Structure 1
Amino acid sequence: MLRSKQILLLSHCLLNVNAKVYKLANYEGCFETLLSPLMKDGYGFIQLPCPELITCGVNRWGQVKEQYETEFFKEQYKSLLKPIIYQLLDYKNNGYTISGCIGIDGSPNCGITKTTRGKWGGEIDDTFNLEETLSSTRSVNEKGVYMEVFCELLDKNNLDLKIYAVDEADPISSVKNILKELL
């Protein structure tokens, strides 16, 4: 049987950059620089659903963590992630190795070690101050909302995974570090 029994979970946009907010794509389709060496080493992938695409669509604006930090979104994310948890449990119970999960640092949802916060919202009218809104955004060292929910579900189900991050600000350095650990 030709199976490596090695599985990685991936943030959706690593396999489909089209899910990202416009102008954030660092590659054309999938992140081949990261994925090709992993494929050659025998890894299989589980693509996590993109919470932003599902809840806000392709034509959404870039957002900050505060906009997704609601009980409604957290419950939606649990619903999206339950089938993933069931798959992981089945794989684990059948001798497969879940080698980790790769998220996207900087994302309000899929950030692993950093996400973006800010005073983002309101009406865009003649009183709106774009400069003030933009200057309120900041990078913070915490997980995005989706990854917080995912990690809670992993803990609840006794699934211990190594979590990696591709940094949107420096994807190539991130890839080198991830590949060094996984290959």
Structure 2
Amino acid sequence: MKDARSGRIILLAHCLLNQNSVVMGLAKRKGPVEELLQLVLREGIGIVQLPCPETGYYGLRRFWAVREQFDNPGFRNYCEKLASEIRDLVREYIRNGYDVIGVIGISGSPSCGVTESGSSENWIGPPYEAKEYDKVKKSGIFIEELRKKLGDLKFEEWDWREVEDSLSKIENLMKKD
């Protein structure tokens, strides 16, 4: 690079930089996840904020959801279109010599979970009748579509149950090979 830029980029789930997009009742911070933001800033890595497919498709006044509710043709098609745009952006960075470190999703998210997502066959009908849901070892719908488009890019996830472990895993991902 011929100026101050690091030439390194990381893709972050939208809500890691904007907790205001999270479904009501689940936000853990007022704005960004400061611990993660501090790590990325300290490493001098550029940030690409992924779009929030849930907010874009369902809006802010949505109920909590599980992957079965989002695993439908309309939402998948929407996520596939978003993933295509991200793929094109990533290709442009790579074509110009940038190191695209990877994608950081959200553990348990029905859209952005990397290794697990919330799941229940019983979440149908009146929301007040919904019971607890399980975490299954499946990516969320948006991450599934991103994986199809981004090939061998590395994926890691932020887990609110394990903040320090999440920071450690993401920091390891940022280390140059």
Q: Same fold (TM over 0.5)?
A: yes
Residue 168 of structure 1 and its aligned partner are, at CA, apart by 2.9
Match of 1:88 in 2: 90
Q: Give a deviation string over 1:106-155, Cα, whole Å, max 9, x none.
A: 1000000110101212135xxx7x3xx314x1011110011001101113
Determine helix, strand or coil for the equivalent of 1:165. Answer: strand
Q: 2:131 aligns with which of 130, 134, 137?
A: 134
RMSD: 1.5
Distance 1:50 1:181 in 2: 22
Distance 2:119 2:29 in 1: 25
Structure 1, unpaired ranges of 5+: none
Match of 2:36 in 1: 34
Residue 170 of structure 1 and its aligned partner are, at CA, apart by 2.7
**Letter of the structure 2 residue corresponding to residue 162 of structure 1:** K
Distance 2:147 2:55 in 1: 20
Residues 156 and 169, structure 2, Cα contact 8 Å, conserved in 1? no
Distance 2:140 2:86 in 1: 18
Match of 1:116 in 2: 118
Determine helix, strand or coil for the equivalent of 2:29. Answer: coil
Residue 88 of structure 1 and its aligned partner are, at CA, apart by 0.6
- 1:28-177 maps to which residues of 2 (within 5 A)? 28-118=30-120, 119-123=122-126, 130=129, 133-135=130-132, 137-155=133-151, 160-177=152-169
Determine helix, strand or coil for the equivalent of 2:147. Answer: helix
Distance 1:62 1:154 in 2: 28
Identity rate, percent: 35
Residues 106 and 168, structure 1, Cα contact 8 Å, conserved in 2? no
Q: Give a deviation string over 1:27-49, Cα, whole Å, max 9, x none.
A: 21001101112112110011111
Distance 1:122 1:51 in 2: 22
Residue 179 of structure 1 and its aligned partner are, at CA, apart by 1.8
Structure 2, unpaired ranges of 5+: none
Residues 11 and 50, structure 1, Cα contact 8 Å, conserved in 2? yes
Match of 1:18 in 2: 20
Distance 1:6 1:50 in 2: 22
Determine helix, strand or coil for the equivalent of 2:104. Answer: strand
TM-score by length of 1: 0.88
